[in-house]
Amino acid sequence: MNEGEPTRRLFFALWPDPAVRRAMAELARQVCSRPVPAANLHLTLAFLGQRSVAECDCMTAAAARVTGEPFELALDFLGGWARPRIQWLGASHVPDALQALVAALNGALAPCGFEPDRRPYAAHVTLARKVKEPRRQSLETPIRWRVDEFVLAESVSTDDGVRYDLLQRWPLG
């Protein structure tokens, strides 16, 4: 990137349908005093950070070549990280199709200058930030999410907080 060149803060994600989003938001309200806004609930596949227009174009073209199979994700576990004080919703079993999608996306993005996180992929939906003591517990009734697409989204800072705008969608299968 050249200094002064416009950039966008981007990420690839799984975007919940309205019913799954409502279930996640309800759970977040039950377990967190200040949940993430319902419109921002998602599961990140790859965080891209600040990217130039050219990098965005390269990554969009790369994502269009990614193939994967639809799958069901059973979100059945509340977890958290004491630092950075995050409460999240995850799956006790991550489907092979999700792991394969993340690997395919990371591979496709490499020629565009993307370097994936070195830590193992942790599939989760952030429910709240700045949580004093994140809970860790299994859920009696999992939130079932039929995943049949992935998206490119932009994180936009506003006076009212962060908003996520969907830029593009790609079907699975």
Which residues are known catalytic residues?
42, 124
Does residue 136 contact residue 78 with C-beta atoms inside 8 Å?
yes
Distance CA 107, CA 99 (A): 12
Vertex 65: Cα angle to 64 and 70 (nearest 5):
80
CB 78 within 8 Å of CB 31: yes
Nearest to 30 by CA among 89, 82, 91: 89
